[in-house]
Structure 1
Amino acid sequence: MNKLVLLLPILLLAGCANQEIATMQDVSPQANDLRDLDYDGVIKARELCGETLSGAAVNNDGCAKDKTVKQSFRLDVKFPNDSAKLIPSNYAKLEQLAAFLEEQDGAVATIEGHASKVGNPTYNLRLSQRRADAVATALIEDFDIPASRVEAVGYGDTVPLIDEDSELAHETNRRVMASLSGEFSVTDMRWTIFTSE
């Protein structure tokens, strides 16, 4: 019985020995370029958008997907008492605001002028409007932001940050705030283990 077990594999192999063996070619011709040159997960043969942003979520053609997000930018410009004149140190803040507006061309800026509770409320309303207009004019004339994207509104002394009668409160409340709003299209990024929401 042991001899039969040993002979069985030899007999099986001998039965196959008369069949013709087909050999494969050494090199198979490759019709398409299967490399992923920009490492986005899409092969070159299907790639329609080369050099996509690293880590971007892409469609089947290798083009980055966009998503719409809402962003805001806050600006706080202070003014001396009874003044609507911009001081030179405010221009650095306005430059940041203008750069944000240029980068996000769908954003609209609402410039909000405010005054302290010192003096007449009617006068303070006009003063706050002049302050808002000063910032809006600087954005339009000095930073070339289209006037259609800038709105100036004076609130007088009706929206104080500190609602008390002190020098700190008055100084804090003499201000212009700029709120930017709008929806912007940005590149959607792929989720990774390092992504945080």
Structure 2
Amino acid sequence: MKKTIAILSVLLLAGCSSQDIVTMQETSPQLNDLRDLDYDGVIKAREKCDETLVGAAVDNDGCPKDKTVKQSFRLNVTFPNDSSDLRPSNYAKLEQLADFLNDQKEASVVIEGHASKVGNPDYNLTLSQQRADAVAQALINDFGIAPSRVEAIGFGDTEPLINEDSDYAHDVNRRVMATLSGNYSTTDMRWTIFTVD
């Protein structure tokens, strides 16, 4: 039986080898530009967005994808004890935030006021709201940000950065932070083996 199968296999292979192999002599014309000029993985024939940022995540047309970003950062706007008056040195940070908001028209900001644990908690809540309001009003009045894009919330002494009773902790905890949100033009980047984050 094994010998019969082996003979049949040889005959079948021999029958296939008797066919002539035909090679094409003419080259086919290339109808579309298949180069990827901006190295985004989309050929020129399909490209709708030239000069894509290198490393950007793109759709099938080679256009970069935006992503919704929510970012929180410390403004380094600090206040003296029992005060909601903005210091002149605070305006440089506020100007950076205002520039961002002017550039990204769809973004909005929540100003978060905080107080140290010195004094009465109810008073600290009112004071933290006054600090948040002072920063919000500076953005609106001094930098021209629309009031509808700025919200101010006071948290009192409920969210300290350093939870201890020291002068340093009290100085750090008397602060204003800002949380930015909105769908603004931040390009979504592709992850690579070289990506750190």
SS of structure 1 residue aligned to 2:49: coil
The one-letter code of the counterpart of 1:154 is G
**TM-score for both structures, normalised by structure 1:** 0.68
Does structure 1 retain, via aligned residues, the 8 Å contact 2:33–2:44? yes
Does structure 2 retain, via aligned residues, the 8 Å contact 1:107–1:184? yes
- 1:33 aligned to 2:41? no
Partner of 2:145 in structure 1?
145
Q: Separation in 2 of the partners of 1:165 and 1:39? A: 56
Partner of 1:86 in structure 2?
86
**TM-score for both structures, normalised by structure 2:** 0.68
**Unmatched tracts of structure 1, length 5 or more:** 1-21
Alignment of 1:117-128 (within 5 A): 117-128=117-128
Measured against aligned partners, the alpha-carbon deviations of 1:152-197 in whole angstroms (never above 9, x if no partner) come to 1223344444455543343333322223345556333334331244
Partner of 1:179 in structure 2?
179
Q: Separation in 2 of the partners of 1:154 and 1:108? A: 17
Q: Which runs of 4+ in 1 moved over 6 A?
A: none
Does structure 1 retain, via aligned residues, the 8 Å contact 2:86–2:135? yes
Does structure 2 retain, via aligned residues, the 8 Å contact 1:76–1:178? no
Q: Residues 180 and 42 from structure 1, CA distance in 2 versus in 1: closer, same or farther, beyond 3 angstroms?
A: closer
Shift of 1:134: 0.7
Shift of 1:36: 2.8
Q: Separation in 1 of the partners of 2:35 and 2:121? A: 70
- 1:54 aligned to 2:54? yes
**Alignment: residue pair count:** 174
Q: Percent identity?
A: 74
Partner of 2:14 in structure 1?
none
Partner of 1:95 in structure 2?
95
Q: Residues 124 and 103 from structure 1, CA distance in 2 versus in 1: closer, same or farther, beyond 3 angstroms?
A: same
Measured against aligned partners, the alpha-carbon deviations of 1:3-30 in whole angstroms (never above 9, x if no partner) come to xxxxxxxxxxxxxxxxxxx9748xx754
| C-alpha RMSD of matched pairs (Å) | 3.1
Measured against aligned partners, the alpha-carbon deviations of 1:21-45 in whole angstroms (never above 9, x if no partner) come to x9748xx754333333323233322
Does structure 1 retain, via aligned residues, the 8 Å contact 2:66–2:184? no
Q: Residues 47 and 24 from structure 1, CA distance in 2 versus in 1: closer, same or farther, beyond 3 angstroms?
A: same
The one-letter code of the counterpart of 1:99 is D
Q: Separation in 1 of the partners of 2:53 and 2:69? A: 18
Shift of 1:142: 2.0
Partner of 2:170 in structure 1?
170
Does structure 2 retain, via aligned residues, the 8 Å contact 1:71–1:182? no
**Unmatched tracts of structure 2, length 5 or more:** 1-23
Shift of 1:141: 1.8
Does structure 2 retain, via aligned residues, the 8 Å contact 1:71–1:183? no
